């Protein structure tokens, strides 16, 4: 009998891209093969693309400075209509849409830079724009839609009709096998029924991408938000991003023309994952904007605030924070810029690089802002409005911290990203030896797998012994940063050996060693960041001299220390004890610890039930249609 876990795993596997038809820097990195040639020199945009991108950034900056009041958005939890209309007028809703369909046709690089710029002003505003373009209607229709669909929907999106992506359900997070929304064919239509949760932009959307089950598999549809039977029942409120229009949407007997099916039946999850290959870059791009802003505030506050006779930034305890914030911001931007340029170049498979960028950007962005709060002390915890009301500069550090927190959950939580990246990182091993550890494989299949594995490892393992990283003259063109690239080369081989040891030790149980896999991925993320920052610094040195090398060198030392700590914890950790204790906690063994408290939670089920049928009037936040 197939278990629920096996079913969920099978669904996820079916949605994966299984072929590697283009080279991948990230894939080779995890295999111990440091292919610097795949990212250096980094691909360059044409002069026309640069000119177009720079022009839009100037227009966007002027609009943000003159027309947007971020404090008003934070205070009212609403993005004013005139701001949305103004963004539409300058083309901000069509940044990623080709010019032939009415968009700006910006590169991934400039789209990411635009989102970083918007985030520095208002993270809620960048969430609106990125949800619309990165995961909303434009991206899946651009990638999988018919020409007729592109001409019907893309011009509307470019003009400012807002789109939303509806996948998550009250009982469905990262496990799509549990999806319960259905789409049943009825003549020339599909009839959709279900409830969707956390629909960013869904409260104000004009167009929706809806994921629904068509038989045993999941399909994707473009749905008009004013179609009869669609009801927005509730607008959700969060600890941050207070201006986003995120809600609960019910679909009851919603008729959707069959021509609105994106791709083929059963392609829904594949469409979602492929969309996210580049769509995920939007989140680390927003983190870059916040981190660069944090660098500015850390510099200004570090000089202005004097304690014990010196500016606080000169005291070692605070200086370490300034160094971490500034060096990390530079590296985060280097990663996003590099992966964005690889995406524009279209010669590389960037599924691992984009996922690493999302993972690294969201985690490091959160740490950067947390350190800035600590550096600002009580003023970091106080709201900008309160600071301003008592006569000081209203710096919204606590707001930025709250706003950034969701990025560790949005579009794949950190824990899920670890597993997704780890699956791709070990794909080469599973391709040759997977049947050896598959309990369903028969003896003949295991024999074939053993032969393939023997041939693969006979070639692969000897290559992990030595490499350019052991030669003191390697990567000399990078000057003072060459030693860090030699470290990446050596460490990528060490990482590959560690992965192999883990597979040999745990075999099929490796997928359940999530702590081990997470550390493997985190080491890979640090190696990608070191590579990106070295490539970026060498490029920037033509304009800024030694300054980029100084930032990059400090970052590389910080990243190497983190990587070495992760290596130490691969084999010496408390994972087994933690799992054992967690099971006992869940079993109620230690409820005596919970005495002496009051639980302020409001009454209700842990997960809301999904009623069938239309909502009652009292349930409705806003009725559409």
- Give residue-wise pLDDT tens across range 434-470: 777 777 777 787 788 788 888 888 999 999 999 999 9
Instruction: Give me the pLDDT at residue 401, please.
Output: 98
Contact predicate 219/211, CB 8 Å:
yes
Reply yes or no on whether the pLDDT at 4 is more than 70: no
Instruction: Give me the pLDDT at residue 621, please.
Output: 44
Which residue's structure tokens are 């807002």?
162
Question: How much is the average pLDDT of 162-171?
Answer: 92
Instruction: Give me the pLDDT at residue 414, please.
Output: 94
| The pair of three-digit structure tokens given for residue 195, joined into one six-digit string | 């409830």
Active site residue 411: yes
Reply yes or no on whether the pLDDT at 15 is more than 70: no
Instruction: Give me the pLDDT at residue 429, please.
Output: 84
Contact predicate 329/370, CB 8 Å:
no
Residue 619's pLDDT band, with cuts at 50, 70 and 90, is: very low
Q: Is the four-CA dihedral 272, 274, 277, 278 of positive or negative sign?
A: negative
Question: How much is the average pLDDT of 57-76?
Answer: 98
Residue 7's pLDDT band, with cuts at 50, 70 and 90, is: low
Rounded to the nearest 5°, which phi and psi values hold at 386? -70, -40
Residue 145's pLDDT band, with cuts at 50, 70 and 90, is: very high
Contact predicate 373/380, CB 8 Å:
yes
- Round the average pLDDT of the chain to a whole number and report it: 92
Reply yes or no on whether the pLDDT at 269 is more than 60: yes
Contact predicate 139/97, CB 8 Å:
no
Which 3 state secondary structure label does DSSP give 185? strand
Question: How much is the average pLDDT of 492-519?
Answer: 92
- Bridging pattern class, strands 207-214 and 246-257: unpaired
Burial degree of 235 (CB within 10 A; 0-12, 13-18, 19+): middle
This prediction has a pTM of: 0.94
Instruction: Give me the pLDDT at residue 526, please.
Output: 98
Question: How much is the average pLDDT of 192-207?
Answer: 95
Instruction: Give me the pLDDT at residue 620, please.
Output: 44
What Rg, from alpha-carbon coordinates, does the chain have? 25
Question: Which one from 245, 411, 489, 539 is the annotated catalytic residue?
Answer: 411
Instruction: Give me the pLDDT at residue 622, please.
Output: 40
Reply yes or no on whether the pLDDT at 315 is more than 90: yes
Give the number of other Cβ atoms within 10 Å of residue 571's Cβ. Answer: 12
User: Tens digits of per-residue pLDDT, 73-119?
Assistant: 999 999 999 999 999 999 999 999 999 999 999 999 999 999 999 99
Contact predicate 408/418, CB 8 Å:
no
CA pair distance 22, 27, nearest whole angstrom: 11
Kindly state the percentage of the chain with pLDDT values over 90.
Answer: 82
Cis amide prior to 9 (ω within 30 degrees):
no
Reply yes or no on whether the pLDDT at 3 is more than 70: no
Question: How much is the average pLDDT of 310-321?
Answer: 97
Reply yes or no on whether the pLDDT at 521 is more than 80: yes
Instruction: Give me the pLDDT at residue 13, please.
Output: 60
Question: How much is the average pLDDT of 321-325?
Answer: 98
User: Tens digits of per-residue pLDDT, 341-361?
Assistant: 999 999 999 999 999 999 999
Instruction: Give me the pLDDT at residue 277, please.
Output: 78
Give the number of other Cβ atoms within 10 Å of residue 59's Cβ. Answer: 13
Instruction: Give me the pLDDT at residue 614, please.
Output: 56
Question: How much is the average pLDDT of 123-138?
Answer: 95
Instruction: Give me the pLDDT at residue 20, please.
Output: 87
Q: Which DSSP letter does residue 253 get?
A: E
Question: How much is the average pLDDT of 587-613?
Answer: 89
Question: How much is the average pLDDT of 330-338?
Answer: 98
Instruction: Give me the pLDDT at residue 395, please.
Output: 98
Instruction: Give me the pLDDT at residue 411, please.
Output: 84
């Amino acid at each position: 009998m197939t278990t629920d876990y096996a079913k969920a795993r099978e669904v996820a596997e079916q949605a994966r891209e299984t072929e590697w038809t283009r080279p991948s820097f990230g894939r080779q990195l995890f295999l111990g093969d440091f292919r610097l040639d795949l990212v250096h020199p980094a691909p360059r945009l044409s002069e026309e693309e640069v000119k177009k991108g720079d022009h839009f950034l100037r227009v966007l900056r002027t609009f943000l400075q003159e027309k947007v009041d971020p404090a008003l958005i934070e205070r009212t939890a609403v993005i004013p209509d005139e701001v949305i209309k103004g963004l539409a007028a300058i083309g901000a809703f069509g940044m990623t849409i080709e010019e032939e369909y009415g968009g700006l046709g910006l590169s991934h690089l400039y789209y990411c830079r635009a989102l970083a710029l918007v985030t520095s002003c208002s993270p809620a505003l960048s969430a609106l724009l990125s949800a619309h373009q990165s995961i909303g209607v434009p991206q899946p229709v651009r990638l999988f839609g018919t020409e007729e669909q592109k001409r019907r929907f893309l011009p509307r999106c470019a003009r400012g009709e807002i789109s939303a992506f509806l996948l998550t359900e009250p009982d469905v997070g990262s496990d799509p096998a549990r999806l319960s929304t259905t789409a049943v064919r009825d003549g020339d239509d599909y009839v959709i029924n279900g409830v969707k949760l956390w629909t960013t932009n869904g409260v104000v959307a004009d167009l929706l991408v809806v994921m629904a089950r068509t038989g045993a598999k999941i399909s994707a549809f473009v749905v008009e938000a004013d179609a009869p039977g669609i009801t927005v029942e509730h607008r959700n409120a969060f600890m941050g991003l207070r201006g986003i229009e995120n809600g609960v949407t019910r679909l009851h007997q919603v008729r959707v023309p069959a021509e609105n099916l994106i791709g083929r039946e059963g392609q829904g999850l594949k469409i979602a994952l492929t969309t996210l290959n580049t769509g995920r870059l939007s989140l680390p791009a927003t983190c870059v904007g916040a981190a660069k802003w944090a660098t500015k505030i850390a510099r200004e506050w570090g000089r202005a605030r004097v304690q014990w006779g010196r500016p606080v930034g000169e005291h070692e305890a605070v200086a370490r924070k300034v160094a971490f914030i500034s060096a990390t911001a530079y590296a985060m931007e280097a990663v996003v810029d590099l992966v964005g340029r690889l995406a524009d170049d279209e010669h590389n498979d960037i599924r691992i690089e984009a996922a690493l960028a999302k993972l690294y950007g969201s985690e490091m962005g959160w740490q950067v802002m947390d350190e800035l709060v600590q550096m600002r002390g009580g003023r970091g915890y106080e709201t900008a409005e309160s600071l301003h009301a008592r006569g000081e500069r209203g710096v919204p550090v606590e707001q930025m911290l709250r706003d950034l927190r969701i990025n560790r959950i949005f579009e794949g939580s950190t824990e899920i990203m670890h597993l997704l990246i780890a699956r791709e990182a070990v794909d080469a091993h599973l391709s040759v030896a997977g049947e050896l550890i598959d309990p369903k494989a028969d003896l003949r299949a295991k024999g074939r797998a053993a032969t393939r594995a023997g041939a693969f490892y006979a070639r692969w393992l000897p290559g992990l012994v030595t490499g350019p990283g052991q030669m003191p003259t390697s990567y000399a063109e990078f000057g003072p940063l060459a030693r860090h690239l030699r470290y990446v080369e050596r460490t990528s081989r060490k990482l590959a050996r560690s992965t192999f040891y883990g597979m040999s030790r745990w075999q099929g149980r490796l997928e359940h060693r999530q702590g081990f896999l997470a550390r493997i991925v985190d080491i890979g993320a640090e190696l990608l960041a070191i590579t990106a920052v070295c490539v970026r610094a060498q490029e920037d040195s033509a304009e800024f001299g030694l300054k980029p090398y100084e930032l990059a060198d400090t970052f590389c030392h910080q990243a190497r220390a983190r990587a070495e700590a992760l290596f130490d914890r691969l084999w010496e950790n408390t994972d087994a004890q933690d799992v054992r204790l967690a099971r006992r906690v869940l079993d109620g063994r230690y409820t005596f610890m919970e005495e002496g408290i009051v639980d302020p939670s409001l009454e209700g089920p842990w997960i809301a039930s999904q009623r069938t049928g239309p909502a009652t009037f009292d349930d409705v936040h806003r009725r559409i249609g």
